[in-house]
Structure 1
Amino acid sequence: MDYLSIEFMGVVLITLLLYYLLPIKQRWGVLLISSVFFYWNALNKNSILFFVHLIMVIYAYGMGILIDKVKLKKILLACIIVCLLPLLLKKYVSFGNSAFDNLVFPIGLSFYSLQMVSYMADISRQRIKPEKNFFKLYLYFTFFPIIIQGPISRYDQLSVELFNNHHFEYKRFIKAIYLVIWAFFLKYMIADKAGIFVDEVFGNYYTYRGLYVWVAGILFSIQLYTDFLACVALSIAVAEMFGIRLFRNFNYPYLSVSVKDFWQRWHRSLSLWLRDYVYIPLGGNRKGKIRKAINLIATFTISGMWHGDGFHYILWGWMHAFYQLGDVLGFDINSKTDKFFKLKKDTLTWRTWHRIITFFEVMLAWIVFRADSTLISLKMIKSMFLYFNPWIMFDDSLLKLGLDGKDWNVLLCSIGVLIGANAIRQKYDIREWLYDQNFVIRYVIITLLIIGIIIFGTYGVMYNAESFIYGNF
């Protein structure tokens, strides 16, 4: 069972019905039962996988109480290592038996193991008190809209939402439905369409060079963003139906004016986790530039390792660390171009140029991230600059890689809608505006969106929708 399945929608509808029928004090119990049911089915009803997951929750529960009583950093460190050990084994140890690998490590481990670490660390820092009710803590770790793909939540934030009283609000419910539709638009109209071209180029890197790689790199940057944004939007929308607010995981990352700014906007729940539980404990930027560089490299090494077991993931992390060390190493592209072109900070020209440079840097790193190996990624990047084939933009070359002319038109128009919506959302709440319209306008717009998604997204290009990309990490 995944977030795109009919079964998941059924779980949501039944849970909503029971949630609002039962007394307020019992409603968190409905969420607990639904979360257990969803996760049990997501594990394909594998009792051993579920047992491993349960043992980890019991461990975090017991260690949380122990850490609160003892308050020894060595105990905390040992607890964190034990908690992360299954995650490290899953990504970096091969037992030579894929069935065994799949049997031992449950889905969603990458996300809820980090929540366990933050829970124990926050207890050690006396930011929170340990949860004495095991079932409430279990719900925090397994809340079904976020267990598989995040966003990574902190206990002090999510527990307030899970266990506070929530009454049914028609307006909030309708606005959540709008967000669900938007999530499907992002997934089916942009992410999965772009993925067809991206998969063809990256899967046949030895055939497609030069401008093909440029187009694939740009489209993958858009694909990954819209796919993950759709996943998070769907999680937020489902939670909103229960009156629960989740962390906002994105803040227009491709409007960033630097890579540092990018990481304050992209996958913010992971970025803040790495900042609070890795970078700052290592010393952050408090001990000089050299120590800052070491801490930054270590943090992004861990970020790369979290995403996968290939060295290209670590290289991707190092590239992002390298980008941010320009002021330390003296090669900051933005500052040098500012001086060369005499750009004044915070002007439209300055922001536009910095966004282009930042997107280019991020895109190169995404190519490394997406490729099957480090060597392949370096060959692809090399061909971008050494192979000259601009004619493919003017003949039919791009129409032979899975998307025909109509599909390209739909994709480009959909990206245009995304850009326009992002520009408007920075000043206005689109869902609020839509809700305030009269009945006819509101439902005509919604109906047209749904029909458009069905015709041009799901069924228009004859392919099966894939699961969300970040479920693989």
Structure 2
Amino acid sequence: MLFNSIDFAIFLPIVFLLYWFVANRNLKLQNIVLVLASYIFYGWWDYRFLALIVFSSLVDYGIGLKLKKEEKLTTRKTLLWTSILVNLGFLGFFKYYNFFVDNFVTAFSFLGQSIQPNTLDIILPVGISFYTFQTLSYTIDVYKRKLEPTQDFVSFLAFVSFFPQLVAGPIERATNLLPQFYKKRHFDYSEAVDGCKQILWGLFKKVVIADSCAEYANQIFNSSFEYSGSTLFLGALFFTFQIYGDFSGYSDIAIGTARLFGFNLKQNFAFPYFSRDIAEFWRRWHISLSTWFRDYLYIPLGGSRGSSWSKVRNTFVIFIVSGFWHGANWTFIAWGCLNALYFLPLMLGKRNRKHLNTVAQNSVLPNLKESVSMLLTFLLTVLAWVFFRADNMDHAISYLSEIFSETLFTLPTIRPKDVIILIVVFMIIEWMGRAQQYAIEAMFLKKNRVLRWSFYMILIALVLMFSNETSQEFIYFQF
């Protein structure tokens, strides 16, 4: 069920009414409504994959209870690794089985051996990468005794399957989200209004910005051999704003929807395209995944402690794994390696924690140094996104090679003025709201009621207008 679909527009009010007007007097009944709603929401794609969520929930719930009682270290480690292997086993089979088989065949062919293994026609369950990491965080935190395991099975099922963030995040930690299911929720009008505003802004990002950019990004990438370097660079720019509008838009809708039901999810994007270096970019982009890898992989490996070799190794591990998490294709691994190369000079020079404040914090515009830093970081990000979008490594390399040819300095043959104007206006609004948690909370909207409601009406009109065009599936559904 897509957030930008008629199905969801019908589903959400029904669940909202049942939750607040039928189940409002009983906490457990509220949680049951959320579990059933979440299973319906997920089963809308393919009900057969509900068994995976239920099985994963049963495994981690049971292991959590056993970890509470068990004191023997070897047994505790066995329980932890059981959870890890079960969860990553499902993820690896559905997402990476054919990738490894194909590369196994290629490797043997290179050595002069011909083998004919069987590949499978595997359908990737929507959101498996997200809810797998969410359940893993629970087991790991219980193992480390950072979290008391729950005995409330319904609350745990709701935590794993919570429909606003089930299929594309944010990846919530059990320490933040699970306790919210234990507490009685009371309807808060101001929170609901804020949630609706955030949903509206997320729909604008997705339907108006991302889907408009997708039309031209797809056209250029799918026929890249036909276009000049300048047009290909413009195509990379369109994809840059497509993926940001698409994924951050989904996160906004998810967080706003959760607020309608009295839940607070973590911020997942913090204006990443205003970053002054790659380290700052990764503190602002897909925050829930970046911090997950930091806390459960990078720090256990030693983080930035130890020798220079250890720092380099850990940096490449974290970025390569992050790239591979996104998909079973060498392009994602190359994207991860490229970002590691971007990040290494900052980390080795101990400058990776340099920009912790908001850019141009006390002024309307950035200074010259900040402007140059933002532009350079943005351009590096655009080039890296080519690997993310390309069909394969050959496509990515040829695409980049043509960008850096002499045709880069010609006039693009595709230059839709309406989409470019939309992007410019969008980034101006984002800039004006950069000091807030979300752009729609920008101070200029809070000062004038007429201006604020005019802005909301314009957003609604644009969403309805662009919804009539061909809608695009959310990019991160494939991950």
TM-score bin, normalised by smaller chain? 0.7 to 0.9
Letter in 1 for 2:17: L
Match of 1:398 in 2: 414
Match of 2:41 in 1: 38
Stretch moving more, 83-92 or 246-255:
83-92
- Are 2:436 and 1:424 aligned? no
- Are 2:87 and 1:83 aligned? yes
Letter in 2 for 1:472: Q
* Whole-angstrom CA distance in 2 between matches of 1:264 and 1:442: 30
Alignment of 1:47-446 (within 5 A): 49-70=49-70, 71=73, 72-94=76-98, 96-98=119-121, 101-102=122-123, 106-326=125-345, 348-393=367-412, 397-399=413-415, 408-427=416-435, 430-431=440-441, 434=445, 438=449, 442-446=452-456
TM-score normalized with structure 1 length = 0.87
Deviations 1:297-342 (A, max 9, x none): 1111111111111111111101111111125778x9xx9xxxxxxx
Task: Assess if the C-alpha contact under 8 Å between 1:50 and 1:106 holds in 2.
Answer: no
Match of 1:19 in 2: 19
- Deviation of the 1:42 alpha carbon: 2.8
* Whole-angstrom CA distance in 1 between matches of 2:203 and 2:328: 30
- Deviation of the 1:239 alpha carbon: 0.7
State the number of aligned residues.
438
- Deviation of the 1:24 alpha carbon: 4.5
- Deviation of the 1:204 alpha carbon: 1.1
SS state at 1:325 partner? helix
* Whole-angstrom CA distance in 1 between matches of 2:390 and 2:452: 43
- Deviation of the 1:61 alpha carbon: 1.1
* Whole-angstrom CA distance in 2 between matches of 1:142 and 1:435: 35
* Whole-angstrom CA distance in 2 between matches of 1:329 and 1:125: 30
Give 1:451's match in structure 2, choosing from 457, 461, 464.
461
Task: Assess if the C-alpha contact under 8 Å between 1:92 and 1:309 holds in 2.
Answer: yes
Stretch moving more, 285-294 or 156-165:
156-165
Stretch moving more, 289-298 or 163-172:
163-172
Letter in 2 for 1:370: R
Deviations 1:129-164 (A, max 9, x none): 111122211110100011111000001101233332
Letter in 2 for 1:76: L
Deviations 1:273-302 (A, max 9, x none): 000011011111111221011011111111
Letter in 2 for 1:97: L
* Whole-angstrom CA distance in 1 between matches of 2:406 and 2:63: 57
* Whole-angstrom CA distance in 2 between matches of 1:278 and 1:35: 29
Structure 1 212/198 Cα, relative in aligned 2: closer, same or farther at 3 Å?
same
Structure 1 292/153 Cα, relative in aligned 2: closer, same or farther at 3 Å?
same
* Whole-angstrom CA distance in 2 between matches of 1:327 and 1:233: 30
Task: Assess if the C-alpha contact under 8 Å between 2:283 and 2:290 holds in 1.
Answer: yes
* Whole-angstrom CA distance in 2 between matches of 1:142 and 1:347: 42
* Whole-angstrom CA distance in 1 between matches of 2:201 and 2:303: 38
* Whole-angstrom CA distance in 2 between matches of 1:255 and 1:351: 9
Letter in 2 for 1:365: A
- Structure 1 unmatched ranges of 5 or more: 336-345, 400-407
* Whole-angstrom CA distance in 2 between matches of 1:328 and 1:128: 31
Letter in 1 for 2:424: G
* Whole-angstrom CA distance in 2 between matches of 1:274 and 1:282: 11
Match of 1:338 in 2: none
* Whole-angstrom CA distance in 1 between matches of 2:189 and 2:347: 53
Structure 1 53/374 Cα, relative in aligned 2: closer, same or farther at 3 Å?
same
Match of 1:339 in 2: none
Deviations 1:151-197 (A, max 9, x none): 00001101233332222222222222222221221112211111111
- Deviation of the 1:96 alpha carbon: 2.7
Task: Assess if the C-alpha contact under 8 Å between 2:229 and 2:405 holds in 1.
Answer: yes
* Whole-angstrom CA distance in 2 between matches of 1:106 and 1:327: 37
SS state at 1:89 partner? helix
Match of 1:402 in 2: none
The sequence identity of aligned pairs, in percent, is 29
- Deviation of the 1:350 alpha carbon: 1.8
SS state at 1:263 partner? helix
* Whole-angstrom CA distance in 2 between matches of 1:185 and 1:416: 14
SS state at 1:398 partner? coil
Task: Assess if the C-alpha contact under 8 Å between 2:228 and 2:410 holds in 1.
Answer: no
Letter in 1 for 2:467: T
Give 2:470's match in structure 1, choosing from 457, 464, 467.
464
Task: Assess if the C-alpha contact under 8 Å between 1:148 and 1:471 holds in 2.
Answer: yes
Letter in 2 for 1:417: V
- Deviation of the 1:435 alpha carbon: 6.8
* Whole-angstrom CA distance in 1 between matches of 2:446 and 2:275: 30
Deviations 1:242-270 (A, max 9, x none): 12111100011111111111110000000
SS state at 1:249 partner? coil
Task: Assess if the C-alpha contact under 8 Å between 1:180 and 1:234 holds in 2.
Answer: yes
* Whole-angstrom CA distance in 2 between matches of 1:328 and 1:255: 20
Match of 2:358 in 1: none
SS state at 1:153 partner? coil
